[in-house]
Structure 1
């Protein structure tokens, strides 16, 4: 693993992109094979039927949630360890209704496995979004898209054909829905929290942001390396049971005042253009300036950074992990190096 030392966080030594190996089955390997072969037909049948047909019918949220719980139950994901900041177990229904996400609120979730989206859909029936490191806008996706996203390669920029929006617009258009944001932009193995996308900064000031950490036991159903479909299915179905540890932090509000980035970028462009005026390469320089501006991370002011840090620190505390400095670009470089090793 020394050759991958550049993909460890310099401060903590944490490696958030390495896959987590399963515990060797040993003499229980025949049992694991039996469980896998027994569960696979049921899992494939129910999941395929739902995502190809039933999700398109007006069956109602309750019926759809029941099917999603069936999909979770077949692999043995039936033990949910739920803890909420400031709430004693058993007292939530009495006087703490505002401690869990409600319609017109935002969930800022950790991102480690396809099960993240499946669980959140079974509980909250939310709208799922994709965030990117260099823009405050998000792309709306379906539940299946969110599941596949956890098994896909990291994307530093949105596709050219992607239809982007922002969280404020989504909330206005869907006042009866919860919106899920994965601010880390790509999956990890759950051992660290990556730097956040600025997409959360488009949340209206009065809207509640709920940091939610999802952790798994055993943790081998996390998918930090993309396209490992078969190993994920094997780890999911060959175990007798899985536990989800759900931690919900106290509400965070976006109290920051946004910077006028359009004016700022325009002023920077004009300054660079005037500096190069009269040179033979003026046209080329101005074009390069525009390109470089579009490639830079979306800038945030100190107050906005404080809001993102508050949500990031909440997720790190809930998951009992540390925040790391590795980015989506580092993840892409790791995936490329890891793929070469496997070949």
Structure 2
């Protein structure tokens, strides 16, 4: 893949947009084909019935979560390796404040359509889509979140999309968690991209939990758009899959003043005790939409303090590196990949 070397991070030489292909022998290939043919009817039946029927019925969150777990089990996801930062083994039930809960925010990695299914099966959250050119987010459904894992990256929201601040979504959904994918596009899980500024509208008192999801085998990640069949085959043809979930300690948006009106975050000002540099970082992301192509929110090196903290936490728990790559580079990569395939 030397022809795509320009899309490697210069500092680490990590290529987060290249697909990961599993190696199979002839015997493994035959077993995989059998497993795919055997699991496919169950997987499609469970998935189609949920998204067409059961998600619209007033059946309660417990039954919906159980159905989503059935979808994961039918695809071979039998093992979940969960680790929570700052919690000893066997004492998690005593540390409920270390886990995401209603009226908090999950800062999640974005590698695979399984991300959304797992988060829905555990937390039943409000899903959002982030964009590098705006601080606001788009409220999306679980099915749309799954499709976004296969979608081409976008710098700006689609025409006609309704945007919200994170704070307004928390206010309108007080009993649920809000999930933000600040990388704004999928990777192969080998690095952390530059964040979109979507976290910057989170109120100062709201806990933000960085969460990393990594997969073994890693070929169920979808850095290449529209790889529907290949991803489904990789998912259903493996005997088992393991999801390694890492949750960091909560971080807070300390540059935002607390206010009872969640809908007016654009009028916030930094605390008087903050330094001039922090004031400059906050003011650089104060506008909702960024129009200058050279703006820090659209491909530059400068990010808000909260994005820096979130990126560092996500890189730490996932044991990966932060990269100086983002959505703009992913768009260029997808164009180059398409030309190479043709």
Separation (CA, whole Å) in 2 of partners of 1:124 and 1:217: 22
Separation (CA, whole Å) in 2 of partners of 1:55 and 1:261: 35
Q: 1:33 — aligned with what?
A: 33
Q: 2:23 — aligned with what?
A: 23
Separation (CA, whole Å) in 1 of partners of 2:255 and 2:291: 26
Q: 1:279-317: CA deviations, max 9, x gaps?
A: xxxxxxxxxxx9954884549xx9972221111011111
Partner-residue secondary structure (3-state), 1:83:
strand
TM-score computed with the length of structure 1 as normaliser: 0.87
Q: State the 1:89 CA deviation.
A: 1.6
Query: Does residue 239 in structure 1 map to residue 231 in structure 2?
Result: no
Q: 1:90 — aligned with what?
A: 90
Gaps of 5+ in 1: 263-289
In the alignment, is the contact (CA less than 8 A) between 1:153 and 1:226 conserved in 2?
Answer: yes
In the alignment, is the contact (CA less than 8 A) between 2:297 and 2:303 conserved in 1?
Answer: no
Separation (CA, whole Å) in 2 of partners of 1:168 and 1:29: 49
In the alignment, is the contact (CA less than 8 A) between 1:111 and 1:182 conserved in 2?
Answer: yes
In the alignment, is the contact (CA less than 8 A) between 2:22 and 2:219 conserved in 1?
Answer: yes
Separation (CA, whole Å) in 2 of partners of 1:157 and 1:297: 15
Q: 2:249 — aligned with what?
A: 250
1:13-92 alignment, distance < 5 Å: 13-92=13-92
Query: Does residue 193 in structure 1 map to residue 195 in structure 2?
Result: no
Separation (CA, whole Å) in 2 of partners of 1:261 and 1:113: 32
Separation (CA, whole Å) in 2 of partners of 1:41 and 1:65: 20
Separation (CA, whole Å) in 1 of partners of 2:27 and 2:303: 54
1:147-162 alignment, distance < 5 Å: 147-162=146-161
Q: 1:56-92: CA deviations, max 9, x gaps?
A: 0000000000000000000110100000001112211
Query: Does residue 341 in structure 1 map to residue 321 in structure 2?
Result: no
Separation (CA, whole Å) in 1 of partners of 2:37 and 2:87: 41
Q: 1:271 — aligned with what?
A: none
Q: Which moved more, 1:35-44 or 1:313-322?
A: 313-322
Gaps of 5+ in 2: 258-264, 268-288
Partner-residue secondary structure (3-state), 2:304:
helix
Q: 1:10 — aligned with what?
A: 10
- In 2 relative to 1, CA 232–291 (structure 1 residues): closer, same or farther, beyond 3 Å? closer
Separation (CA, whole Å) in 1 of partners of 2:198 and 2:53: 32
Q: State the 1:183 CA deviation.
A: 0.3
- In 2 relative to 1, CA 340–39 (structure 1 residues): closer, same or farther, beyond 3 Å? same
Separation (CA, whole Å) in 2 of partners of 1:310 and 1:196: 11
Q: State the 1:261 CA deviation.
A: 7.5
1:164-183 alignment, distance < 5 Å: 164-183=163-182
- In 2 relative to 1, CA 173–115 (structure 1 residues): closer, same or farther, beyond 3 Å? same
Q: How many residues align?
A: 313
Separation (CA, whole Å) in 1 of partners of 2:294 and 2:63: 44
Separation (CA, whole Å) in 2 of partners of 1:327 and 1:10: 13
Separation (CA, whole Å) in 2 of partners of 1:127 and 1:235: 28
In the alignment, is the contact (CA less than 8 A) between 2:296 and 2:302 conserved in 1?
Answer: no
Q: CA RMSD in A?
A: 2.1
In the alignment, is the contact (CA less than 8 A) between 1:118 and 1:147 conserved in 2?
Answer: yes
Separation (CA, whole Å) in 1 of partners of 2:37 and 2:25: 16
- In 2 relative to 1, CA 167–4 (structure 1 residues): closer, same or farther, beyond 3 Å? same
Q: State the 1:188 CA deviation.
A: 0.3
Separation (CA, whole Å) in 2 of partners of 1:50 and 1:123: 16
Separation (CA, whole Å) in 2 of partners of 1:118 and 1:49: 15
Q: Which has the higher helix share?
A: 1
